[in-house]
Structure 1
Amino acid sequence: MKHIVIVGGGAGGLELATKLGHHFSFSRFFNRRRKDPQVRVTLVDKNRTHIWKPLLHQVATGALDSSLDALNYQVHARANGFQFELGCLRELNREQQTIELAPVMDSDGQQLVPARELQYDYLVLALGSQSNDFRTPGVREHCVFLDSTEQAHRFHRLLLDRFLQLETHTADKVQIAIVGGGATGVELAAELMDATQQMGYYGQINNGALEVTLIEAGPHLLPALTPRLGNNAERELSKLGVRVITGCAVAEASADGLTTAGGEKIPASIRVWAAGVKAPDFLTQLDGLATNRVNQIEVQTDLQSTSDPHIFAIGDCAGCVDIKEQRVPPRAQAAHQMASVAEHNLIASIDGRPLKQFRYRDHGSLVSLSKHTAVGNLMGTLVKGSLTIEGRIAGLAYRSLYRMHLAAVHGWAKAMLIYLVGQANRFVKPRLKMH
């Protein structure tokens, strides 16, 4: 029996495991589970649950309750014909075709599961990305990142603690500084201003108690989009009360704020770093796999690593130049497209058929400004060139992205049921998670 091991349960890894599990474990015509599948699929992740990464800024502010919206890997695996292993990748042995998982520890530091070794015939690395601090002094020690659900929960606790100080009159304001004017920074700033209004219903906190500063080193916000959209986003954030600083790099972070390259001190009790991404550092030490300057695994246009045909990489951790010789950006839509091509190529590899070459199709970018509005552009077969959209239409298009992710994982019927249940929960429960 062949064994496909997928490490990383983000958007790309989870979609790939689901697709392969269905292909190898269920009858194609009657959707019945096969008694003896010829290929076993295992998904490995260090977390027990999955949250779509573009939603982490909502988890951070409390606009999204991860306990309600999270997908449990173990339950999903049993329902979709693959296996799940809780663990963190520690070592790779390409000659033996094995990976080693680090021990699983409990919250008290006690070992629950010892280190394990998994044998693979094909390995897929889908480990995503993490914030790039560019070795800026003090950032790792004094800033919050939004790379995982745990980090988003940490930010949420800090936010509630600061507002508790306001309610008990032990502080007169909450100052938050966000470094990075990309999608994460812009969306977090907008959600924070909305959260202040929601918290005001509970603790009589007025809008003036929150000072949010968004700092971008480039000339305009949303550098992946056009300057006009970036400027429009800046105008909308300014209306909400966010102080936006562009063309300004951060030189140092400390326990009480940030210092810009120009020497300005920006006081902040909570400091968020959302400027740039890179693949995890340990990928550069995985048994000689070729990586680039941001730690991504170098892959061919068929998504096989340039170092080993038995190892594939998809998503943010893959350094891919596609068949059109364009560098594939670290976006959720790229991970989704890679998952589909990787599914085809893994099946083709097992069957001895030619592999498909990956071509990235940019369908545009959308950035939410909380419930207020959204900005972005659409590209594709229905739109000749690029169509700029803003306002309610852009907001509707943005919300549809998450439903498309749910459909890729669950199918459209179940995805719509999940969406309706989510809407019902938002109607009967407080809009903001206050604990």
Structure 2
Amino acid sequence: MGDRARGPAGASRYGPPHVVILGAGYAGFAVARGLGAAPARVTLVNPYSYHYFTTLLHEPVARPRQRERVALPLAPYLPPNVRLWLGRATAIDPRRRVVEVEDRATGARRRLQADLLVVAVGSEPLFFGIAGLEERALTVRDLSSGPLIRSTVEHHLARYAAGEMGPEGRRIVIGGGGYTGVELAAELAEVRHDLARATGVAPGAIEIYLVEAAPTLLPGFDPPLVRYVTRFLERVGVRVITGTPIAEVTPRHVILADGRRLEAGTVIWTGGVRAHRLVEQAGFEVDKRGRALVERDLAARGCEGVYLAGDAAAFPGDDGRPLPPTAQVALQQGEYLARALTRRLRGQPVEPFRPHLLGTVISLGRRDGVGLLRNGYRVTGRAARVLKSATLWRYLYRIGGVPLVARVMGGASLQPLP
């Protein structure tokens, strides 16, 4: 990546203002891309040289080669005034706008002084204190998740076929029936025959359970579409359990609150997220999920010049509850902050952030899905699946225009990965 991937020499009191962005997820990447015309020098701190699409992280579980198509190299799409520093933020002093960063290449820790600081460090799994869950469950959280889940499932199935594991070796339990859990269950069901061929297990012997504590899957989602999703999953052989939370995970069992014990070799947790713990550790005023409370312009309460976006921010919607931690919310907040900070740096007034939620689309494998659009219109089947792909094309178009979209539609890899 050349000079753009190296860390800065440090903040200077001279020259243009220094904007520091922590994280290159949907929000942080959008802020960085939108500051090209700002009278500032910008440092984007991220552990990796790529940006990945969190809404697609379930796909490489079923199709491992998809891993190279759910990530995008950062450097080619950053403006000239943005420097990418490959490192991980380890501490934040929001009142002084100082960030401690661990350099990825050397492990050395250095401090960055910002004139304006954007915290977009994303989320991490929330385990709700369930005994054994954090220690024994896999999660869907980054590019390593898909290959790890796939290899774990195949390893356990192969051991079951060889007589080295009992019934738990052929059973997969997914905890959490929200968007990710539903999409992951559908993907695994779709590749059941592939898993069987690879491991020597009969397809019918591979069991997939989806457990949700709420009375239905997709809590809070449109009821007719919830029924569609539930029927779809049951039709493809997923065993859906609702209204019963997981109480404990042992080396061989998932124990439900009603006393049922499911023998399970592979446990995957998709049951909730919280803001990255760095947000709470920094001393921001946070909600019960560790998200910082922010003003209408996404400014941190009581911290001048500090802003939060994406999963790190608790921004109230029209109903007073924080907006959900979705990609479209994070993207809109990032694009807003880029415009707002540019105006602030020019001494111009700033309007408050106003979200425009476009609806929700959920994929059910490669050929089915459901969607609820902003006008209340429901979409199901192949049309919904095409719409899910279209949201990716639209996002890529905003980043790299027609050439980038053409690469994806042509089947090219976006990011070669180890």
Pair in the same fold by TM > 0.5: yes
- The SS at the match of 1:116 is strand
User: Residue 388 of structure 1: which of 375, 378, 383 is its match?
Assistant: 378
- The SS at the match of 2:211 is strand
Q: Give the partner amino acid of 2:67.
A: S
Asked if 2 retains the 8 angstrom alpha-carbon contact of 1:60 and 1:152, the reply is yes
Report the Cα distance in structure 2 between the residues aligned to 1:15 and 1:64, rounded to whole angstroms.
Answer: 26
- The SS at the match of 1:99 is strand
Asked if 2 retains the 8 angstrom alpha-carbon contact of 1:323 and 1:357, the reply is no
1:15 aligns with 2:30: yes
Asked if 2 retains the 8 angstrom alpha-carbon contact of 1:177 and 1:212, the reply is yes
* Shift in alpha-carbon separation, 1:80–1:205, aligned structure 2, 3 A: farther
Report the Cα distance in structure 2 between the residues aligned to 1:5 and 1:399, rounded to whole angstroms.
Answer: 32
1:225 aligns with 2:218: no
1:417 aligns with 2:406: yes
The 10-residue stretch of structure 1 (258-267 or 200-209) with the greater mean CA deviation from structure 2? 200-209
Aligned to 1:261: 257
1:58 aligns with 2:66: no
Report the Cα distance in structure 2 between the residues aligned to 1:324 and 1:239, rounded to whole angstroms.
Answer: 36
The 10-residue stretch of structure 1 (155-164 or 212-221) with the greater mean CA deviation from structure 2? 155-164
Offset of 1:90 from its aligned partner?
A: 1.4
Deviations 1:58-91 (A, max 9, x none): 12333553235422234444x6652111111112
Q: Give the partner amino acid of 1:301.
A: R
Report the Cα distance in structure 2 between the residues aligned to 1:241 and 1:196, rounded to whole angstroms.
Answer: 10
Offset of 1:180 from its aligned partner?
A: 0.6
Deviations 1:256-276 (A, max 9, x none): 121011110011101011112
Aligned to 1:352: 347
The 5 Å alignment of 1:182-221 reads 182-200=178-196, 205-221=201-217
Q: Which consecutive residues of structure 1, in runs of 5 or more, have no partner in the other structure?
A: 25-37, 106-111, 380-384, 427-434
Report the Cα distance in structure 1 between the residues aligned to 2:162 and 2:56, rounded to whole angstroms.
Answer: 31
Offset of 1:170 from its aligned partner?
A: 4.3
Asked if 1 retains the 8 angstrom alpha-carbon contact of 2:20 and 2:42, the reply is yes
Asked if 2 retains the 8 angstrom alpha-carbon contact of 1:250 and 1:258, the reply is yes
Aligned to 2:9: none
1:398 aligns with 2:388: yes
1:43 aligns with 2:33: no
Report the Cα distance in structure 2 between the residues aligned to 1:10 and 1:258, rounded to whole angstroms.
Answer: 33
Q: Give the partner amino acid of 1:353.
A: Q
Report the Cα distance in structure 2 between the residues aligned to 1:163 and 1:23, rounded to whole angstroms.
Answer: 54
Offset of 1:149 from its aligned partner?
A: 1.8
Aligned to 1:6: 21
Q: Give the partner amino acid of 2:397.
A: A
Asked if 2 retains the 8 angstrom alpha-carbon contact of 1:341 and 1:358, the reply is yes
Report the Cα distance in structure 1 between the residues aligned to 2:154 and 2:302, rounded to whole angstroms.
Answer: 47
Report the Cα distance in structure 2 between the residues aligned to 1:218 and 1:80, rounded to whole angstroms.
Answer: 48
* Shift in alpha-carbon separation, 1:404–1:199, aligned structure 2, 3 A: same
Asked if 2 retains the 8 angstrom alpha-carbon contact of 1:62 and 1:156, the reply is no
Aligned to 1:84: 84
Report the Cα distance in structure 1 between the residues aligned to 2:80 and 2:321, rounded to whole angstroms.
Answer: 34
Offset of 1:307 from its aligned partner?
A: 2.0
Aligned to 1:147: 141
TM-score (norm 2): 0.89
Report the Cα distance in structure 2 between the residues aligned to 1:421 and 1:331, rounded to whole angstroms.
Answer: 27
Report the Cα distance in structure 2 between the residues aligned to 1:63 and 1:391, rounded to whole angstroms.
Answer: 24
Asked if 1 retains the 8 angstrom alpha-carbon contact of 2:31 and 2:337, the reply is yes
Report the Cα distance in structure 2 between the residues aligned to 1:300 and 1:64, rounded to whole angstroms.
Answer: 42
User: Residue 239 of structure 1: which of 229, 235, 240 is its match?
Assistant: 235
Report the Cα distance in structure 2 between the residues aligned to 1:277 and 1:50, rounded to whole angstroms.
Answer: 19
Q: Which consecutive residues of structure 2, in runs of 5 or more, have no partner in the other structure?
A: 1-15
Asked if 2 retains the 8 angstrom alpha-carbon contact of 1:175 and 1:210, the reply is yes
Asked if 1 retains the 8 angstrom alpha-carbon contact of 2:363 and 2:388, the reply is yes
Q: Give the partner amino acid of 1:376.
A: G
* Shift in alpha-carbon separation, 1:418–1:81, aligned structure 2, 3 A: farther
Offset of 1:402 from its aligned partner?
A: 1.4
Aligned to 2:8: none
* Shift in alpha-carbon separation, 1:150–1:132, aligned structure 2, 3 A: same
Report the Cα distance in structure 2 between the residues aligned to 1:75 and 1:354, rounded to whole angstroms.
Answer: 31
The 10-residue stretch of structure 1 (92-101 or 119-128) with the greater mean CA deviation from structure 2? 92-101
Report the Cα distance in structure 1 between the residues aligned to 2:199 and 2:270, rounded to whole angstroms.
Answer: 29
Deviations 1:304-351 (A, max 9, x none): 111213111111110112578563211111111111211111011111
Report the Cα distance in structure 2 between the residues aligned to 1:186 and 1:368, rounded to whole angstroms.
Answer: 8
The 5 Å alignment of 1:241-390 reads 241-286=237-282, 288-322=283-317, 325=320, 327-379=322-374, 385-390=375-380
- The SS at the match of 2:379 is strand
User: What's the % identity of the aligned pairs?
Assistant: 27
* Shift in alpha-carbon separation, 1:98–1:425, aligned structure 2, 3 A: closer
Asked if 2 retains the 8 angstrom alpha-carbon contact of 1:324 and 1:359, the reply is no
Offset of 1:248 from its aligned partner?
A: 0.8
Aligned to 1:70: 71
Aligned to 2:4: none
Asked if 1 retains the 8 angstrom alpha-carbon contact of 2:57 and 2:143, the reply is yes
Aligned to 1:33: none
Report the Cα distance in structure 2 between the residues aligned to 1:425 and 1:44, rounded to whole angstroms.
Answer: 24
Report the Cα distance in structure 2 between the residues aligned to 1:74 and 1:388, rounded to whole angstroms.
Answer: 38
The 10-residue stretch of structure 1 (319-328 or 294-303) with the greater mean CA deviation from structure 2? 319-328
Deviations 1:19-74 (A, max 9, x none): 21x324xxxxxxxxxxxxx4112211122322100111112333553235422234
Asked if 1 retains the 8 angstrom alpha-carbon contact of 2:92 and 2:278, the reply is no
- The SS at the match of 1:65 is helix
Report the Cα distance in structure 2 between the residues aligned to 1:13 and 1:295, rounded to whole angstroms.
Answer: 18
* Shift in alpha-carbon separation, 1:402–1:297, aligned structure 2, 3 A: same
Give the aligned CA root-mean-square deviation in angstroms.
2.3
Report the Cα distance in structure 2 between the residues aligned to 1:154 and 1:312, rounded to whole angstroms.
Answer: 34
The 5 Å alignment of 1:108-123 reads 112-123=106-117
- The SS at the match of 1:415 is helix
